[in-house]
Amino acid sequence: MIRGIFPPITTPFSNEEITFDKLKENILRWNKTGLSGYVVMGSNGESAFLTREEKIKLVEKVKKYSASEKTIIAGTGSDSVKETISLSNDAAKAGADYALILTPSFYQSQMKHKELIDYFSKVADKIKIPLLIYNVPKFTNVNISAGTVAKLAEHENITGIKNSSENIADLTEIISVVPNNFSVLVGTASVLYPGLTVGAKGGILALANAIPEECVDLYGLFIKEDFISSLKIQQRLVKPNKAVTASFGVPGLKAIMDLQGYYGGPVRSPLQNLNQDEINIIKKIFMEANLIK
């Protein structure tokens, strides 16, 4: 069962190509933290800009550099059932332990209960590693309902969900209708603490790329029932989290990683790197939260 804190790792580029050396450096450093594992090709991985070949190679390299106890989750979903199965199984061969599968979203207004049941069941039937549902309305404009999750949780190969909505009511409802061994993970650091209080098992958090220790501490203090200390960290994370998600996105996250001594580096085209003014804004937000010096 999936527990704890995972970064949806950024993909390091140099001159528009993946730089595996920098990937290695980042992972070796993350290996020393209490992170439970890595999500590769998540929304912060600029997966939408990668070719199929790059994706497989990326999983291989992440597996290679990861400490053996770290769980590898690969984002392998697309609207096509066929392609999702094929990519998930190739990712499994390359070392992925779980497949994190986006709700299909092109025909967003039609992705309702029946369509989502159909999609996830067909994919889960055919992939050789366990499936985690990935619900992220801000990118997909689809929000899976608790009733749909409850039904999908009956499938033996569907073992959890990453819910990236900040809506804790939905999270509470989902947790109340799935079995206890179904992993419900928070998808954004701004609601990790309240998510844990309603029963989430951990989080997949963009911020954990840049400040893994604080994210792991928040989680660990909660597990030890030191709620006051855990909440204090949470309060410091809300505004910085907004900066690397809603306000500045992946370019913001990479800028903060650079400031923290990780390799953030440039984003891939067509995303645009932050300018110095923007970097200063984001830096100030992290300094005011005592997250960087």
Q: Return residues touching a second copy (CB under 8 A).
A: 43, 48-51, 78-83, 104, 106-111, 114-116, 118-119, 122, 138-139, 141, 146, 166-170, 172-173, 175-176, 188, 190-191, 193-195, 197-199, 227, 231, 234-236, 238-239, 241-242, 246, 249-251, 269-272
Nearest CB to a second copy, comparing residues 6 and 119: 119
In contact, 251 and 273? CB cutoff 8 Å:
yes
93 tagged catalytic: no
Closer to a second copy by CB, 128 or 232: give it.
Answer: 232
Give residue 287's identity as a one-letter amino acid code. M
Nearest to 63, CA basis, from 17, 31, 87:
31
Which residues, 6+ apart, have CB-to-CB distance to 143 below 8 Å? 135, 137, 165, 170
Give ∠ CA 119-122-128 in degrees, rounded to 5. 125
Residue whose structure tokens are 């029932």: 225
Asked if 258 and 265 touch (Cβ cutoff 8 Å), the reply is yes
Q: Are 193 and 225 in contact (CB under 8 A)?
A: no
- Cα(250)–Cα(10) distance, rounded to whole angstroms? 8
Residue with Cβ nearer a second copy (42 or 160): 42
Contact predicate 41/6, CB 8 Å:
no
CB of 263 to a second copy, least distance (A): 21
Residue 13 CB, nearest approach to a second copy (Å)? 12
Least distance to a second copy, CB of residue 66, Å: 26
Residue (209 or 234) nearer to a second copy, CB: 234
Collapse the DSSP code of 100 into the 3-class scheme (helix H, G, I; strand E, B; otherwise coil) and give the result. Answer: strand
- Choose between 27 and 218: whose C-beta lies nearer to a second copy: 218
Helix (H) / strand (E) element for 134: namely: strand 131-135
Beta-bridge mates of residue 131: 99, 158
Question: Based on CB atoms, which residue is closest to a second copy, 32 or 224?
Answer: 224
- Specify whether the backbone of 202 is left (phi greater than 0), alpha (psi in -120 to 50) or beta: left
Beta bridge partners of 4: 202
Q: How far apart are CA 78 and CA 11, in angstroms?
A: 19
Catalytic residue, candidates 22, 162, 201, 254: 162
Q: Which DSSP symbol is given to 210? A: T
| Residues annotated as catalytic (active site), given as ranges | 162
